[in-house]
A and B are shown apart, each in its own frame.
Chain A
Amino acid sequence: MGGDMMKKLCILSILVLFFTVTVSAALAKVELTYWTHEDPNRTEIENRYIKEFETANPGVKVERVTSPSGKMAEKVLTAFAANRGPDMFNMEIEQEYAYIVNRRLAPIDSKAVGYPSDKAIYDAYLPRVLDPATFDGKLYGLPMELTNWCIYVNDRIFKNAGLNPEKDYPKTWEEMVEVSEKIVIREGQIIKRRGFDFRYPYYLVSMVPMVEQLGGQLISDDGKKAIINDQAWIKFLTFMKEWGPNGRNLGSPTYTPARSLFNKDKNDVAMCESGLYQQGRIRQDNPEFYNSKEWRVIPYPVFKNAVKNVAGNYYGHYFVVNASKPKENQQMTWKLISYMLAHPEEYLSKVGLIQPTVKLMKSETFKVMPYANVFKEDMERAHIVYYGENSAKIQDHIREAVESVMLAGASPGEALEKLKRRAQEALQER
Chain B
Amino acid sequence: MGLRLIPVSFFTLIWDMKGRIFSSGIEHKKARWGWTFIIPSLVFFSLFSFYPILNALYTSLFRKKLLSLDPPRFIGFDNYVYLLQSPDFWNSIRATVVFTLGTFVPIVVFSLIFALFIMSRKRFQKFFQMAYYSPAVLSSVVVAAIWLLMLDPRGLANQWLNFILNTPGIDHKWLANSAMVQISTMMVYFWKYVGYFTIIFLVGLGSIPKSIHEAARTDGATGWTDFLYITLPLLKPTTVLVSIMSMLQCLKTFSTQYLFTQGGAPMEPINVITLNLYHTTIRDRSIGLASAMSIILFCMMLFFTWLQFKTFRSEEVQY
Residues of A within 8 A of B (CB): 70, 73-74, 77-78, 80-81, 98-99, 102-104, 186-192, 200, 245, 252-256, 390, 392-393, 396, 399-400, 403-404, 407-409, 422, 430
Counting CB contacts under 8 A, is B285 at the interface? yes
How distant is the Cα of A392 from the Cα of B285 in the complex, in angstroms? 11
| B226 cross-chain contacts in A, Cβ below 8 A | none
Q: Is the beta-carbon distance between A254 and B265 smaller than 8 angstroms?
A: yes
Q: Is the beta-carbon distance between A73 and B282 smaller than 8 angstroms?
A: yes
Counting CB contacts under 8 A, is B175 at the interface? yes
Q: Which B residue sits closest to A408, measured CB to CB? A: B178
Q: Is the beta-carbon distance between B153 and A81 smaller than 8 angstroms?
A: no
Q: Is the beta-carbon distance between B178 and A77 smaller than 8 angstroms?
A: no
Asked whether A408 and B153 contact (CB < 8 A) given A70-B262, A187-B169, A190-B169, the answer is no
Counting CB contacts under 8 A, is B267 at the interface? yes
Q: How far is the CB of A268 from chain B (nearest CB, A)?
A: 9
Residues of B within 8 A of A (CB): 63, 65-69, 82, 88, 152-154, 158, 168-171, 173, 175-178, 262-269, 279, 282-285, 287
Q: Is the beta-carbon distance between A188 and B171 smaller than 8 angstroms?
A: yes
Q: Is the beta-carbon distance between A255 and B67 smaller than 8 angstroms?
A: no
Q: Is the beta-carbon distance between A190 and B154 smaller than 8 angstroms?
A: yes
| A188 cross-chain contacts in B, Cβ below 8 A | 168-171
Partner of B279, one of A253, A254, A396: A396
How distant is the Cα of A132 from the Cα of B73 in the complex, in angstroms? 29
Q: How far is the CB of B163 from chain A (nearest CB, A)?
A: 13
How distant is the Cα of A396 from the Cα of B268 in the complex, in angstroms? 11
Q: Is the beta-carbon distance between B282 and A74 smaller than 8 angstroms?
A: yes
| B176 cross-chain contacts in A, Cβ below 8 A | 245, 252, 254, 407
Q: Which 3 A-B pairs have the closest CB atoms?
A: A188-B169, A253-B264, A189-B171
Asked whether A256 and B152 contact (CB < 8 A) given A393-B283, A396-B279, the answer is yes
Q: Is the beta-carbon distance between A399 and B153 smaller than 8 angstroms?
A: no
| A399 cross-chain contacts in B, Cβ below 8 A | 267
Q: Is the beta-carbon distance between B173 and A255 smaller than 8 angstroms?
A: no
Partner of A245, one of B68, B171, B279: B171
Q: Is the beta-carbon distance between A404 and B67 smaller than 8 angstroms?
A: no
How distant is the Cα of A246 from the Cα of B284 in the complex, in angstroms? 32
Q: Which A residue sits closest to B151, measured CB to CB? A: A254
Q: Is the beta-carbon distance between A408 and B267 smaller than 8 angstroms?
A: no
Q: Which A residue sits closest to B82, measured CB to CB? A: A430
Q: How far is the CB of A416 from chain B (nearest CB, A)?
A: 15
| B269 cross-chain contacts in A, Cβ below 8 A | 408
Partner of A189, one of B66, B170, B266, B267: B170
| B65 cross-chain contacts in A, Cβ below 8 A | 102
Q: List 28 A-B contacts (CB under 8 A).
A: A73-B283, A74-B282, A98-B285, A99-B67, A102-B65, A102-B67, A102-B68, A187-B168, A188-B170, A189-B169, A190-B153, A190-B158, A190-B171, A245-B171, A245-B176, A254-B152, A254-B153, A255-B152, A255-B264, A256-B152, A390-B284, A392-B283, A396-B279, A400-B268, A403-B267, A404-B268, A407-B178, A409-B178
| B63 cross-chain contacts in A, Cβ below 8 A | 430
Q: Is the beta-carbon distance between B284 and A408 smaller than 8 angstroms?
A: no
| B173 cross-chain contacts in A, Cβ below 8 A | 245, 254, 407
| B282 cross-chain contacts in A, Cβ below 8 A | 73-74, 77-78
| B68 cross-chain contacts in A, Cβ below 8 A | 102
Q: Which A residue sits closest to B283, measured CB to CB? A: A392
Q: Is the beta-carbon distance between B177 and A407 smaller than 8 angstroms?
A: yes
Q: Which B residue sits closest to A268, measured CB to CB? A: B154
Q: Is the beta-carbon distance between B88 and A81 smaller than 8 angstroms?
A: no
How distant is the Cα of A404 from the Cα of B171 in the complex, in angstroms? 18
| A77 cross-chain contacts in B, Cβ below 8 A | 66-67, 282, 285
Q: Is the beta-carbon distance between B69 and A400 smaller than 8 angstroms?
A: no
Q: Is the beta-carbon distance between A80 and B158 smaller than 8 angstroms?
A: no
Q: Which B residue sits closest to A395, measured CB to CB? A: B283
Find the residue from B67, B169, B263, B269 having the highest chain A CB count within 10 A: B67
Q: How far is the CB of B76 from chain A (nearest CB, A)?
A: 14
